[in-house]
Each structure stands twice: as C-alpha cells, then as structure tokens.
Amino acid sequence: MVVINFISSKGVLKSVNAAEGETIMDCAKNNDIYEIEAECGGGCSCATCHVYIQDEWVDKLDAPTEMEEDMLDFAIDVKENSRLSCQIKIDKTLDGITIQTPEKQF
C-alpha cells in the first residue's frame, strides 16, 4: 500500500491508501476526493482531473507526455506544478506524495 495525501483547496488534508498500478485519479475517486471530477474517466480528454503536485514531488514523477501537456491547456488555473491525475500511475516511489486539488475544474 502507498499513502497519498490530498489537500483540498480549502486546506483540508485527507490521507488515503492507494494500490500500486491505479492512477491518482482512480485513487481520488475511490476515496471521494470531490474536487476531482474526471468526466472522461481517465481518457486524457477532459482535463477535469487537474491537480497540483507539491513542489518537492514534481521532479520525482515522470514528465507529462505531450498528450497530457496538450490537455492541460484545457484545465483551469494551470500552474508550473499542474498535472492531470489520471495520467499518473501510482507506484512505491510515490509513497507519501502530497497533492493539492484545485477549487474549480470547470
């Protein structure tokens, strides 16, 4: 099990257990992280699973693919540390990662 920490836009922390192999979006949906919408169900076609990765974790993730970068153009309030959570697969190296969810997905 890997622990993922979600911090809501209001600053509320929720730490949850995730299985390796699932995406951060799956994990968020399974744990009622309501600020993640994921309308397209992980298809990299909606940009409503947008999250901010806490700075020290940004470089530990594989860089976003071109497809993800393109889709990020359609997210709201994109910052340097923005990612689409459906494109991040969970493995052991992400144990303890902290992720902030945005106030708005659309």
Partner 1 sequence: MGNPIQTDALIIGAGPVGLFAVFELGLLNLNCHVIDILNKPGGQCAQLYPEKPIYDIPAYPVITGQDLTENLLKQVKPFSPVFHYEQLANKIRKQKNGNWLVETDKGLVFDVKAVVIAAGGGSFEPKKPNIPDLDKYSKSIRYSIDKVDRFKNKDIVILGGGDSALDWTLQLYDIAKSLTLVHRRDKFRGAPATVEKVMSLRDGGKIQFHVGQVNEIIGSDGNLTAVKCIKENKILDLPCDILMPFFGLTMSLGPVDKWGIDLSDERIVVSTETFETSIPGIFAVGDINTYPGKLKLILSGFHEAALMAHAVFKRINPDEKHTLQYTTTSSSLQKKLLNQ
Alpha-carbon distance 98 to 92, whole Å?
Answer: 14
CB of 56 to partner 1, least distance (A): 22
What residues from 24 to 83 belong to the interface with partner 1 (CB under 8 A)? 37, 39-40, 43, 45-48, 69-70, 72-78
Partner residues linked to 98 by β-bridges: 5
Question: Could you tell me the sign of the dihedral formed by the alpha carbons of 79, 98, 21, 62, in that order?
Answer: positive
Token couple for 102: 């945005």
**Span interacting with ligand FES, options 11-19, 33-41, 53-61, 95-103, rule CB under 6 A:** 33-41
Q: In terms of CB distance, is 1 or 39 closer to ligand FES?
A: 39
